[in-house]
Amino acid sequence: MASTGRKQLDEHRLYLETQTLLEATLNAIPDVIGIQDAHHNIIRYNQAGYEYLNMTYEEVVGKKCYELIGRTTPCSVCATSEVYRTKRPAQVERYIKEVDGWLDIRAYPVLDDNGKVIRVIEHLRDITDKKKAEQALADSEEKFREIFNNSGDAIFLHRLNKDHTPGPFVEVNDAACRKLGYSREALLGADPNLIINADIETDVQKLMDRLVRERHVTFQDSHRAKDGTRIPVEIISHLFELDGRTVVLSIARDIRERLLAEKKLRNNLREKEILLQEIHHRVKNNLAIVSSLLRLQSSEIHDGEDAQIAFENSIHRIRSMAMVHEHLYESENMVDISLERYIKTLVGDLLNSYSLDGSCQVSIDIDDLALDLNQAVPLGLIINELVTNAIKHAFRDSRQPVLGLSIKMISNREAELHVADNGPGLGESFSLDSSNSLGMRLVQVLCDQLQGVIRWENNNGAHFTVQFPLIVAE
């Protein structure tokens, strides 16, 4: 008897330990675990169940599950009811508006010896955060799909093979289908060579190798539509990893209208260049006519040497202006002239007109400058006056005349003209302001027009320096 009692005591102790372990295990589960009878009456929940409902055991026990959330009838879709009907486990996911959340509800039958459902174990997991994340992802994908398909540019996504050759298309947008004349089904899985022109100039392999190195490239190419139409495009391609595969996303913009506009612009520009060239040509010819008329008129003057000289000076001044237009006429861009070529021609023309081209030692040093019409004309006239002044006064009695002329940049924004001769020099009282010479007064006016400053000195001859702001033609 003592042995039997001890055995029963041990069995009871084991039962209590097992119950304690099961209770602890049940309460350690973070999901809601409930037990119902065959009529939806709650027998109990685990600790997570009471916390989820914010109720105690006394408030829950004996009530039907749907009553706990404020309903009077069972849910229209109920895993527990499905278990009663089929005697098999059931699972549903549904939104419960009373708790404003999504639940993953799983029910498992407990059968008696006759196979009748006597208990149902219900497992509830709150999946609200998961559903919100799925919805956010779906919304994001929908927005992406909307942007993807509403883009006016053709967009292609294709794989990149291990040898860096283009793999098949895995996605295309509506614009790509519309522009190329293919259905989406025809393009998906197709080789990109389907739309690449047979006479394509771009080396596709080199392009793919470059894309692998740089991860993105921009280039111009052309696509071939289903009907054979050639579509020039500007393509931006990006390389990235998607689901463990290397893929290329390419955005192709149809540039047919842009190329036509560029061609029209080039034609218009060429027409304007021709027109400007013609204007310079006519101005040059008109100045040449004026110069010829003055020369004819000077040949008729016999009474005064001063009048003859005045006519000659006017002719040289007109010639210096005509020469600017002549060089612009011959210039490629019709905006600026080569200063060195212009000055050398101008000085040579002046020396030749006074028969000094062979006897005068000339040194010309000019930086590589290109000036526009607004500066070239007054600068040419200043040089015309200063060189003419040297020829008339410095070289009159000189057997070995020497002329030095330079134009140098002294900063990024300023240049300096220097004209020197080896003549007797300027008088001590010389001043541009008080000079009776028309040419010297003209030099002062032209310096003001250049916004420049003129200086002079005697140093084994007359030296003139004009410093002026440099406006380089754009």
pLDDT digits (tens, 9 = 90+) for 304-337: 565 656 666 666 667 766 666 665 556 555 456 6
DSSP category for residue 72:
S
Residues 343 and 465: their CA atoms lie apart, in Å, by 16
pLDDT of residue 473: 47
pLDDT of residue 348: 86
Residues 197 and 201: their CA atoms lie apart, in Å, by 9
**Residue among 464, 308, 469 at smallest CA distance from 386:** 464
- 133 alpha carbon, distance to own chain's centre: 35
Residues 148 and 141: their CA atoms lie apart, in Å, by 10
pLDDT of residue 356: 81
Block means of pLDDT (10 residues each) for the chain, 474 residues, are 66 74 84 87 89 88 85 82 89 86 90 89 89 79 75 88 87 91 92 73 76 88 89 90 85 89 80 64 58 54 59 66 62 63 84 80 87 79 86 78 92 91 83 74 85 90 91 54
DSSP category for residue 392:
I
Rounded to a whole number of angstroms, the CA Rg of the chain reads: 49
**Residue among 179, 178, 180, 171 at smallest CA distance from 148:** 171
pLDDT of residue 312: 65
Which pTM value belongs to this model?
0.43
Residue 126: both structure tokens together: 């709150």
pLDDT of residue 468: 92
**Helices (DSSP H) in 54-127: which residue ranges?**
57-60, 79-86
pLDDT of residue 365: 93
pLDDT of residue 419: 94
Taken in order 369, 374, 379, 380, the sign of the CA dihedral is: positive
Residues 362 and 345: their CA atoms lie apart, in Å, by 12
Stated length of the chain: 474
* Mutual angle of helices 305-330 and 373-389, in 10-degree steps: 140
pLDDT of residue 403: 93
pLDDT of residue 177: 92
- Does residue 390 contact residue 421 with C-beta atoms inside 8 Å? yes
Q: Which residues contact 151 (CB under 8 A, 6 or more apart)?
A: 173, 175, 251
Residues 432 and 474: their CA atoms lie apart, in Å, by 34
pLDDT of residue 137: 76
pLDDT of residue 306: 58
pLDDT digits (tens, 9 = 90+) for 34-91: 898 878 889 889 898 888 888 898 888 888 888 888 888 878 888 888 888 899 999 9
DSSP category for residue 384:
H
* Residue pointed to by tokens 């100045």: 287
Domains and CATH numbers, the chain: 21-131 (3.30.450.20), 140-254 (3.30.450.20), 260-469 (3.30.565.10)
